[in-house]
Amino acid sequence: MIEGASAGADSCGSCSDRDCSTSQRKDGESDRDFQERQKLESRLCRIRHKVVVLSGKGGVGKSTVAVNLATTLMLSGKKVGLLDVDIHGPSIPTMPGLDGATIKSCEEGFLPVDVGGMKVMSLGLLLRNPDDAVIWRGPMKMGVIKQFLMDVVWEDLDYLVIDSPPGTGDEPLSVCQIIGQLDGAVVVTTPQKLSAVDVRKSITFCRQLNVPLLGVVENMSGFICPKCGEVTHILSSGAGKSIAEDMGVPFLGSIPMDSEVAEAADKGRVFVRHYASNPTAGIMAAIMSPILALDEKDVLEKPVETGIEKEDKHMRIAIPMAKGKLSMHFGHCEQFALIDVDPVEKKIIGREDVEAPPHQPGLLPPWLAERGANLIIAGGMGQRAQGLFTEQGIDVVVGAPPETPERLVGDYMAGTLRTGDNICDH
Ligand code: ADP
């Protein structure tokens, strides 16, 4: 186990979908495997799009494409995470804000580092000595990759961009299998004929794993003269494009070899951000646009909002808690779970746990109203208290069972919440 990682496996409580495969044990799955899968899937289902960046071999610009892709998405207003799982050559720690950064962990796992608004996590930050990975045997590497993927606390993201280990061996295989439902892969190659073999392998690899191919990027495609802007093809050209066409995969475009791309990396700067006026940055942005469109498509597919839906767009449900479940005596609970819900999508979108204030008659309704609650689901509650909540604009549901907040909110949204007697002994 990676030092500092949480030892316990969380059960999935991130949504209300009872039919979700995460909540069902698979045939022959051990307790441990089931718990690990639940933990991983409950983390990953909060990420709307997962894109892996692959290459047949190292040194072709895979990390450069991954970093610039993630940054382009972030600059377009998306919530983005960047995950560097390249066990042998983690290069992302050289990004600004990451050099010298140390990983912090909380009870649930490792916290990604915030780099200019983007969440970044690199295996390199965890390895005290990156050379150690070289001597790790296969199963050990796979174990580290799995543990790492399971233990990063991303929370809600629009995109997670994953910089995979190069090649088509066990390491990228583990990454794709563990992450599971990927939106697709971007395959990076160089223009020489020799790379054709590698790019073919990468495409076949994705097809065998059922990972959709978002497209091929040909990097270092010609040298762009920093003085006159003319492109000279030093290496033979076009291999990435012709293989993509040959194998029926979208060709995303060619990035020239540009001294400022290398300079940006050496200075620990993200090229598309800090060299935005360079024409190569425009080329990169155009290459990334089909990946950005993944999200735009999602947005277009959402139902058109009416004024009423907009008003209802955010709901905050307060649940008095004791020992992780609803406390039957709301006035004496230990804490409140504040569950944010999208009532149109009928989805839980967040949770905040707050310590309950000291017991004082009449204090809770304004205290919860101040924290944005507009509904309280409680076990028992007297008539007077119910009236005080209503005065604060907080609706009240009483007689709910001592269940987890996610379960209660899920049932409430599905219209299946069973309420019993309003047992209140206060
Ligand atoms: P990989 O992840 O495939 O090993 P990197 O992204 O680390 O490759 O790139 C290898 C080196 O090539 C880095 O020093 C990087 O700055 C440089 N590089 C990548 N793409 C370009 C480019 N288009 N022009 C100039 N240098 C580049």
Least confident of 52-61, 227-236, 332-341: 227-236
Residue with structure tokens 């996610």?
406
Checking if the pLDDT of 303 tops 60, the result is no
Q: What pLDDT band is residue 298 in, cutting at 50, 70 and 90?
A: low
- Strand-pair partners of 322: 325
pLDDT at 164: 92
Is residue 49 very low, low, confident or very high in pLDDT (cuts 50, 70, 90)? very high
Predicted pLDDT at 304: 38
**CA-proximal residue: ligand 1, atom 8 (nearest):** 61
CATH (residue range 30-297): 3.40.50.300
CA nearest ligand 1 atom 27, residue: 262
Give the integer Cα–Cα distance in Å for 85 and 288: 21
Question: Ligand 1 centroid to 59 CA: how many Å?
Answer: 6
List Cβ neighbours of 217 (8 Å cut-off, separation of 6 or more). 65, 186, 187, 188, 189, 240, 252, 253, 254, 255, 287
Angle, vertex CA 20, rays to CA 14 and CA 21, nearest 5: 115
Across all residues in the chain, what is the average pLDDT? 82
From its phi and psi, is residue 393 left (phi > 0), alpha (psi between -120 and 50) or beta? left
Residue with the smallest CA separation from ligand 1 atom 24 is 257
Q: List beta partners, residue 350.
A: 340
For the CA of 188, the closest atom of ligand 1 is 3
58, HSE (Cβ side, Cα atoms, 13 Å): 8
Q: Which residues line ligand 1 (CB under 6 A)?
A: 55, 58-64, 89, 91, 219-220, 255, 257-258, 261-262, 265
Q: Which of 18-22, 178-182, 355-359 has the lowest mean pLDDT?
A: 18-22
The C-alpha atoms of residue 74 and residue 291 are separated, in whole angstroms, by 12
Question: Where residue 201 falls among pLDDT bands split at 50, 70, 90?
Answer: very high
C-alpha of residue 258 to centroid of ligand 1, in Å = 10
Residue 106: enclosing H or E segment and its boundaries? strand 104-106
- pTM metric for this prediction: 0.68
b/e sequence 275-291, b meaning 16+ C-beta within 10 Å: beebebbebbbebbeeb
- Contact by Cβ (8 Å): 60, 189: yes
**pLDDT interval class at 246 (50, 70, 90):** confident
Least confident of 86-90, 199-203, 359-363: 86-90
Ligand 1 atom 13: the closest Cα is on which residue? Answer: 262
Joined together, the tokens standing for residue 36 give 């690990």
Give the pLDDT score at 392: 85
Of all protein residues, the one whose alpha carbon is nearest to atom 15 of ligand 1 is 262
Q: What is the pLDDT of residue 67?
A: 92
Phi, psi of 290 (to 5 degrees): -65, -25
How does pLDDT run across 249-285, given as a tens digit for each residue?
A: 999 999 999 999 999 988 888 899 889 889 899 999 9
54, 64, 68, best to mutate for ligand 1 pocket (most atoms within 8 Å of CB):
64
- Could you read off the pLDDT of 390-411 as tens digits, one per residue? 888 888 888 888 899 999 998 8
Sequence ranges of the domains in the chain: 30-297, 304-414
Q: Do domains 30-297 and 304-414 have the same CATH topology?
A: no
Ligand 1 centroid distance, CA of 220 (Å): 8
Q: Right CATH number for 304-414 from 3.30.420.130, 3.10.20.340, 3.40.50.2300, 3.30.70.20?
A: 3.30.420.130
Radius of gyration of the chain (CA): 25
